[in-house]
Amino acid sequence: MDIKTIGVLGAGAMGNGIAHVAALSGLEVVLVDTAQAVLDKSLATMAKNMARQVQKGTIDAAAESAALARVHASTTHDALATCDIVIEAVPEREDIKRAVYAQIMPHLAPHAVLASNTSSISITRLGHASGIADRFVGMHFFNPVPVMKLVEIISGLATSPATIAAVEALARQMGKTTIAAADFSGFIVNRILVPMINEAIFALHEGIGTIASIDQGMKLGAAHPMGPLTLADFVGLDIVLDVMQVLHAGLGDDKYRPCPLLVNYVAAGWLGRKTGRGFYDYTTTPPTPTR
């Protein structure tokens, strides 16, 4: 498949990053979100981030202008009709994704591939729900998309080899490295990473260490670029909880039980950087631990 136009469904942090990278790689981008305010914020963020790249010398001003001109924003699903592939980047809840697929399917071209940026949900189930299981695939980008080089490619039970080949070629065009992951809860990266974060939260919950000592320990003792609690705040504690719940439900093992402290932080609305408070308070400079 010759992919020239890419649709991105959802203009949050992940959708914004995917659209950013796709536009810089020469693809026409249709960015769709039902909220105009979200689209406006996304376009402003994209322009700001590309301007930063120009300042750093990683792209030139001509590339920035051309890329921004390739992004076409819309609040209606019929704008996806011209797309060769649509990458869904809506919240990490299966019920939301299923509802969105029901809304967009009447508007997709007969040849279009539908990819989900899900970080943990079964591609086989989502593909069946879409009604085009052979043209449905997992394409899991990592945040921040313009910086992170990896894309996990996940094949559902019915995903065709042609679909896999198309998304692998697309990821390479976008400057990414791909790895193939089997369709099990959490795939590769989150199957390993998110339980590690959850275990760090258990260590805090049980008084084994403080926020600062846990993060410092993993940075200096395991050569991690940032501590697990800092990383949890960056990812979003609600997303960490969602993934742990998917792992716990899908694998049925108590070692994937979400830490009660994580559940409480999410219930309190302390979701990390995006809300200004998680394991750290981001209203101070530098951020200070909240426990």
Taking only the tens place, the pLDDT of each residue in 89-119 is 999 889 999 999 999 999 999 999 999 999 9
Apex 277 CA angle, 273 and 280, nearest 5: 85
CATH number of the domain located at residue range(s) 5-181 in this protein: 3.40.50.720
Task: Give domain limits for the chain.
Answer: 5-181, 195-281
Distances (CA, A) of 281 to 12, 208, 229, 270: 23, 21, 12, 9
Nearest alpha-carbon partner for 155 in 178, 175, 180: 180
5-181 and 195-281: identical CATH topology: no
- Residue 2 clears pLDDT 90, i.e. is over it: no
User: b/e string for 6-27 if b means 16 or more Cβ within 10 A?
Assistant: bbbbbbbbbbbbbbbbbbbbeb
Residue 140: active-site member: yes
Q: From the candidates 140, 155, 198, 248, which is the catalytic residue?
A: 140
- Main-chain dihedrals φ then ψ at residue 74, nearest 5 degrees: -155, 150
Residue 190: active-site member: yes
Q: From the candidates 42, 120, 130, 190, which is the catalytic residue?
A: 190
Q: Mean of the pLDDT values across residues 163-185?
A: 97
pLDDT of residue 1: 77
CA distance 187 to 120: 6
- Residue 75 clears pLDDT 80, i.e. is over it: yes
Q: From the candidates 25, 152, 155, 198, which is the catalytic residue?
A: 152
Chain-centroid distance of CA 276 in Å reads 20
pLDDT tens digits along 212-266: 999 999 999 999 999 999 999 999 999 999 999 999 999 999 999 999 999 999 9
Report pTM: 0.91
Class of the domain covering 195-281? mainly alpha
Q: From the candidates 119, 122, 185, 198, which is the catalytic residue?
A: 119
Chain-centroid distance of CA 283 in Å reads 25
259 neighbors 232 (Cβ within 8 angstroms): no
